[in-house]
């Protein structure tokens, strides 16, 4: 492989980033991905500050390789989280859901590399202006929180690639080597993968949730809660209840009330497949095994390179 | 290039198919694409039978290369259309919106190659069982009529590619060589392109509609009319009216009444950008010129091959 901007930036061997996911990506998953040559991220979105510190410390014990933390900038204890991240000398931070201007330079002053997640070219340009080191552009097919414009990865990546000069990671719909090769063809320097890692051995998702992912089929996820914050969910009783209310034009207040508290924990961490919130991407339809994070990284990377080789043979050979 | 299954099947040089689009793809566009080495399709969906016959006859005068007709199987005068297609010895038919079992063998008995458009793996398998020669799998980002499961091209193509053995065309979100290379990486044998050809010189879309496409930006299209038949539209007063009614839980009857008749003709063919229905895909955000169909075919194909070459150099060089 020639010099890859993502590998150089994060000092990793394979340009595969494991997305930080609430209730699924603790230190075990992050360390396993980093040990496999990719970049693992601890998902701080579901962690109290002291819990995050524990995960960072354990991750440092479990790997000597670079790892990162994903921080949603709208997190209430954001100041405390960032303080811990800087104190613990985390080398890489991925931020999302907020303004990249607020934290980027402070983190960089502490020697931290910063990437920010967006769902449009417009925000990708704002990230570049804010001085981030890399952008993650995430399409409509991604699990969890999602953009309002519903731009798919296939349309988003070439647009962002031509709008910015800094390194670009493609996210949303990437769970295979074929999809990774496609994203590289679209102009990404690497990929961020979420759903495929949720179903890994080292993920902290409840086993029932992992098994439900294996049985998911095409059309089993839906972008929901559009009148609050759009989020892609696996269909279940809870998601259907929300969808029905939305189709009837329910107010935000009614939706917030039904949503209640701790729905995501209940679904993904505690395994309540009926009343819990199950965040997962469209690629869940094609996940059919629970294997180690290392196997996922190797399989996707090797398949990606094979696809590129095959393309070359078929069309330029 | 090695043997390509789509090129062999349709006896064309470049595996780029111009999708049949109501009010936009008459004989001039279809002949121009076929003359450029791709496959042009006349969109019969907006044509009375005698108008279709005229377009087929003119197309035969304008090109000696293979061309086809796209026929929505729910068309009211379907028997008459098919009779004309067979009488006029059209070599290729793309069918959509209906059961591929009904017409495939009858058309094939007349020496016609048949492809059918789907939006899920499940229907791709049904097409294969019905004996079609090729499948077009079209993702959520596509303009016009769309699937209910909202599966994006990036997720759909690898799934369909592993579900069927017959040749596969990727559609939805393909308006550049980068996207074409991505689709080939995903396992497609070629692509079907709609929106990019709407804005061509030879398209019969109204100039005002073509110019509106040039000014479209990310997020300007939306999947609408989900409670009737999902269709991706460019946002305008009409689309917003429909969206508002849907968000308020309007009945099908109310929506049908607002929709009225000839909305698509009014928008795309007559250029009423306010009250007309403007069907276009998400790639409209990245179309910035009105050029000949030949230029589009050549640019996409050459860029696609360059991307493949670049991928090979970057990752296997």
Percent of chain A with pLDDT over 70: 100
Question: What per-residue confidence (pLDDT) applies to A223?
Answer: 95
Say yes or no: A182 and A245 in one domain: no
Question: Hey, are the CB atoms on A314 and B4 less than 8 Å from each other?
Answer: yes
Last-in-domain residue among B204, B230, B259: B204
Which is more confidently placed, A289 or A248?
A289
Handedness of CA A191, A194, A195, A201 (dihedral sign): positive
Say yes or no: B211 and B199 in one domain: no
Average per-residue pLDDT for chain B: 96
| A301 inside domain | yes
Question: B162-197: per-residue pLDDT in tens?
Answer: 999 999 999 999 999 999 999 999 999 999 999 999
DSSP string, B243-270: HHHHHTT--HHHHHHHH-SSHHIIIIIT
Say yes or no: B80 and B144 in one domain: yes
Residue B41 binned pLDDT confidence (cut-offs 50, 70, 90): very high
Report the chain B residue with the minimal C-alpha distance to residue A3. B314
Question: What per-residue confidence (pLDDT) applies to A197?
Answer: 98
B308 touches chain A (CB under 8 A): yes
Nearest to A43 by CA among A60, A23, A27, A20: A20
Domain residue limits at B138 = 11-204
Q: Which residues of A touch B155 (CB under 8 A)?
A: 141, 173, 179, 218, 282-283, 285-286
| B304 inside domain | no
Say yes or no: B44 and B115 in one domain: yes
In a mutational test of the B interface, the residue from A13, A185, A247 whose CB has the highest number of chain B CBs within 10 Å is A185
- Within 130-189 of B, beta carbons closer than 8 Å to A belong to 139-141, 148-156, 158-159, 161, 172-174, 176, 178-179, 181-187
Query: CA B301, CA A162: separation in Å to the nearest integer?
Result: 19
Torsion-angle region of residue A175: left (phi > 0), alpha (psi -120 to 50) or beta? alpha
| CATH code of the domain in which A107 resides | 3.20.20.70
Give the mean model confidence (pLDDT) for residues A12-16: 98
Question: Hey, are the CB atoms on B307 and A222 less than 8 Å from each other?
Answer: no
| B313 inside domain | no
Provide the 3-class DSSP secondary structure of residue B116.
Answer: strand
Q: How far is B47 from chain A (nearest CA, A)?
A: 31
Say yes or no: A154 and A110 in one domain: yes
Query: Parallel, antiparallel, or unpaired for β B190-193 and B113-118?
Result: unpaired
| B3 inside domain | no
- Structurally, chain A folds into a number of domains equal to 2
Beta bridge partners of B279: B233
Last-in-domain residue among B204, B236, B259: B204
Which is more confidently placed, B1 or A54?
A54
Say yes or no: B171 and B33 in one domain: yes
Question: A291-310: per-residue pLDDT in tens?
Answer: 999 999 999 999 999 999 99
| B292 inside domain | no
Question: Hey, are the CB atoms on B150 and A223 less than 8 Å from each other?
Answer: yes
Percent of chain B with pLDDT over 70: 100
- CB proximity list for A291: less than 8 A, separation 6 or greater: A200, A201
Say yes or no: B116 and B160 in one domain: yes
- CB proximity list for B51: less than 8 A, separation 6 or greater: none
| A7 inside domain | no
- CB proximity list for A220: less than 8 A, separation 6 or greater: A234, A235, A284, A285
| B62 inside domain | yes
Q: Give how far Cα A281 sits from Cα of A190, A221, A262, B317, Å.
A: 18, 7, 20, 33
Question: Hey, are the CB atoms on A152 and B139 less than 8 Å from each other?
Answer: yes
**Option in A141, A158, A181 nearest B155 (CB):** A141
Weakest-pLDDT range from B5-19, B85-99, B105-119, B246-260: B246-260
Say yes or no: A72 and A174 in one domain: yes
| A90 inside domain | yes
Q: Give how far Cα A218 sits from Cα of A181, A278, B51, B242, B295, Å.
A: 22, 16, 39, 27, 36
Residues in chain B, total: 317
Question: A197-227: per-residue pLDDT in tens?
Answer: 999 999 999 999 999 999 999 999 999 998 8
Last-in-domain residue among B160, B176, B204: B204
Report the chain B residue with the minimal C-alpha distance to residue A121. B218
Say yes or no: B239 and B266 in one domain: yes
Question: B72-126: per-residue pLDDT in tens?
Answer: 999 889 999 999 999 999 999 999 989 999 999 999 999 999 999 999 999 999 9
Say yes or no: A169 and A222 in one domain: no
Torsion-angle region of residue A269: left (phi > 0), alpha (psi -120 to 50) or beta? alpha
Say yes or no: A249 and A117 in one domain: no
- Within 229-268 of A, beta carbons closer than 8 Å to B belong to 247-249
Question: Hey, are the CB atoms on A312 and B309 less than 8 Å from each other?
Answer: yes
- The answer to whether A9 and A134 have CB atoms below 8 angstroms apart is yes
Say yes or no: B132 and B235 in one domain: no
| The pLDDT of residue A1 is above 70 | no
């Amino acid at each position: 492989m020639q010099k890859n901007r993502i590998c150089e930036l994060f000092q990793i061997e394979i340009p595969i980033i494991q997305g930080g996911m609430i209730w699924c990506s603790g230190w075990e998953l992050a360390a396993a991905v980093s040990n496999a040559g990719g970049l693992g991220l601890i998902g701080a979105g579901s962690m109290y500050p002291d819990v995050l510190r524990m995960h960072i410390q354990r991750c440092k014990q479990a790997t000597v390789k670079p790892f990162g933390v994903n921080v949603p900038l709208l997190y209430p204890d954001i100041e405390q989280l960032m303080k811990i991240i800087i104190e613990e000398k985390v080398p890489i931070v991925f931020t999302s859901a907020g303004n990249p201007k607020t934290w980027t330079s402070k983190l960089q002053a502490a020697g931290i590399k910063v990437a920010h997640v967006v769902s449009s070219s417009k925000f990708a340009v704002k990230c570049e202006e804010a001085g981030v080191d890399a952008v993650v552009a995430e399409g409509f097919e991604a699990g969890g929180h999602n953009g309002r414009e519903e731009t798919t990865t296939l349309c988003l990546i070439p647009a962002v690639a031509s709008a910015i000069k800094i390194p670009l990671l493609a996210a949303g719909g990437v769970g295979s080597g074929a999809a990774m090769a496609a994203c590289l063809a679209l102009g990404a320097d690497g990929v961020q993968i979420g759903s495929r890692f949720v179903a890994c051995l080292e993920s902290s998702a409840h086993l029932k949730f992992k098994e439900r992912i294996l049985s998911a089929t095409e059309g089993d996820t839906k972008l929901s809660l559009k009148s609050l914050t759009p989020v892609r969910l696996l269909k279940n009783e809870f998601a259907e209840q929300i969808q029905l209310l939305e189709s009837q034009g329910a107010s935000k207040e009614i939706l917030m009330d039904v949503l209640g508290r701790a729905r995501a924990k209940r679904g993904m961490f505690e395994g309540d497949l009926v009343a819990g919130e199950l965040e997962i991407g469209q690629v869940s339809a094609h996940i059919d095994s629970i294997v180690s994070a290392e196997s996922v990284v190797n399989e996707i990377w090797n398949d990606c390179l094979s696809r590129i080789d095959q393309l070359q043979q078929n069309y330029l050979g």
